[in-house]
A and B are shown apart, each in its own frame.
Chain A
Amino acid sequence: MEGLWTRIALRLWVALILLFLFTPIALIFVYAFNTSNIQSWPIPGFTLKWFTSTWNDPDVRRSLALSLQVGLGATALALVLGSCAAFAIHRMTWFGREFVSLMFVLPLALPGIVTGIALNAAFSFGGISLSTLTIVVGHTTFCIVVVYNNVLARLRRTQGSLIEAAMDLGANGFQVLRDITLPLISTAVVAGAMLAFALSFDEVIVTTFTAGAQNTLPLWIFGAIRLGQRLPEVNVVVSFVILVTIIPVVIAARLTGGGGTARVPAAR
């Protein structure tokens, strides 16, 4: 129903929005090769020296190690808890189902700062000092939702007849789980885990309130940008974080057909 001019105008609009979305991201990668340590445009030349100095920076390494540790810990916990929740909700028929389901996605609807300060208040009330463990607890709380959403979406699309057929053919509960259910949902579980890791690796708001003196990589970046210090290294680290957060998402989107990746970063 659109006329020629409307179509041209819409195309132009789409092109401008794409430019708006991708120019800043592209710019970061360019700045990572900046020869100067002053961040001005245009950059005077290209160098790889900041990659070496960033890799050799002990602060960056410590933060990276902590981020990996937290990401893996939170992902593992979220994987177990999120899958359990999805299985349980999928099988549930009673009226509480909607309520419980809403509960699991609540960390997405509330601003991250509320989750952060609530956990902070709880830890200080319970006399628990902030450590790696408290960061993992914070991250797990919003990572569960990602795994839960992915696994539940897959379970809903899985045909019950396959499981019934296996049972009719004499498979016991364990065999059905091992040979039918798990293979069917495995890609959704892997996708959920990848998204959970990507989410954890980049999280800064909840982390601010649950980390003690330690720095995760995003906390290091935040501190450095805020003080305007070591910006050449920030360029490199930030480019790296973009890649680390995007690659798992691309894989997850391929595994699930894109559905699971659409809304989740709201957990921030």
Chain B
Amino acid sequence: MLLLTPPLAWFVVVYFASLVLLLVTAFWTTNPFTTQIVQFWNTDNFQRLINEPTYHAIIGRTVLIASLVTITDAVLAFPFAYFMARVASRRIQTLLFAAVLLPLWASYLARVYAWILILNHSGVLNWSMHLVGLPPANIGYTNIAMWIVFSYIWLPFMIIPTYAALERVPESLIEAATDLGARRWQTVRDVVLPLALPGVVAGSIFTFSLTLGDFITPILVGGAGSTLIGNVVYDNVGIANNVPFAAALATVPVAIMAVYLLIAQRLGAFRAL
């Protein structure tokens, strides 16, 4: 019990108190002239969120990008994880696992920056397009760039739990399906896929949540129409100095994640985490 006191105290005093304060702050307001926080209980911030179409568009765009990134990563990750779990030898499996972990840990900013170098006007992409005789792609600083970069950065988060779930699919079930006359694709669709689903959903928690809260990638690789929830929060803390409104907006990804986690739990994703 003595051991638990320091870390528990840290979490309660630093982390939880801050989270509670964040929620309370969302119901405060700022003085428009001095930008000082006024501790007057009201729901103006939330009404602004509900009434202004700009914020609907931003929240909608954020959820859309997060969903697109999640689907893209699931599609990219599944065959890779399948190969790792069910085809590769033990040695190749270990090597591939390391190959997924390294980019996961390699600096986040470095990996976003690499894509600026690739996608910019005189970058590797346009050069390669020219090489094969195609017109330049010029997708730097657009929503497409943002979609590619998010998918790239979070891909390892999808591969690892999908791989873990696929590895746990018992060989006997697949043999049973084959013995009972199922075709190869039928076995994959009716046996492997349902059993691997919790892993994919577990991975999607990361890809979805991380995209919801990001503001660095939209700033660095996005364009004029790439503002996400994170950017508005960031601008309201920094430039506009309206922490109460930023706090109200920050509750949106938390609420979305709460709903998402509830669905994920229903699908058995927590056991696959």
Contacts and interface: CB of A to CB of B under 8 A. Distances in A.
Interface of A: 1-3, 6-7, 9-11, 13-14, 17-18, 20-25, 27-28, 31, 38-42, 80-82, 84-85, 87-89, 91-92, 100, 103-104, 106-107, 109-115, 117-122, 124-125, 137, 140-141, 144, 148, 198, 202, 204-205, 208-209, 218, 221-222, 225-226, 234, 238-239, 241-242, 245-246, 249, 253, 258, 261-263, 265-266, 268
A87 B4 CA distance: 8
B106 A111 contact: no
Contact of A100 (B8, B18, B114): B8
Given A1-B187, A120-B243, A121-B243, A21 B155 contact: yes
Interface centre among A100, A113, A258 (most CB of B within 10 A): A113
B157 A266 contact: yes
B117 interface: yes
A122 B21 CA distance: 6
A268 B215 contact: no
A252 B7 CA distance: 23
B269 to A, nearest CB: 12
Interface centre among B18, B87, B233 (most CB of A within 10 A): B18
A114 B102 CA distance: 26
B35 to A, nearest CB: 11
A168 B159 CA distance: 47
B104 interface: yes
Interface centre among B84, B101, B118, B246 (most CB of A within 10 A): B101
Given A1-B174, A91-B3, A121-B247, 19 more contacts: A13-B79, A24-B115, A31-B117, A106-B15, A110-B257, A111-B210, A113-B214, A113-B215, A117-B237, A141-B14, A202-B109, A204-B109, A218-B107, A225-B220, A226-B220, A242-B107, A262-B101, A262-B160, A268-B210
B199 to A, nearest CB: 12
B182 to A, nearest CB: 10
B216 interface: yes
Given A20-B152, A124-B243, A113 B7 contact: no
Contacts of A3: 184
A222 B27 CA distance: 32
B213 A112 contact: yes
Contacts of B157: 263, 266
Interface centre among B114, B205, B234, B257 (most CB of A within 10 A): B114
6 contacts: A9-B79, A14-B83, A24-B115, A140-B10, A225-B109, A226-B219
Contact of B18 (A9, A40, A121, A242): A121
Interface string B8-52: 101100110111011001000000000001000000000000000
B67 interface: no
Interface string B69-103: 00000001001101110110000001011111111
Given A10-B82, A118-B21, A253-B101, A111 B109 contact: no
A202 B107 contact: yes
A42 B22 contact: no
B110 interface: yes
Interface string B208-240: 011011111001100000000010011001000
B145 interface: no
Contact of B111 (A25, A91, A117): A25
B137 interface: no
A235 to B, nearest CB: 8
B138 interface: no
Contacts of A253: 98, 101
Closest 9 CB pairs of A and B: A111-B213, A24-B114, A40-B122, A88-B4, A85-B7, A122-B18, A118-B18, A118-B22, A88-B3
A171 to B, nearest CB: 20
Contacts of A9: 79
A17 B76 contact: yes
A27 B216 contact: no
A258 B101 contact: yes
Contact of A218 (B3, B84, B109, B156): B109
A137 B14 contact: yes
A138 B160 CA distance: 27
B117 A10 contact: no
A119 B246 CA distance: 13
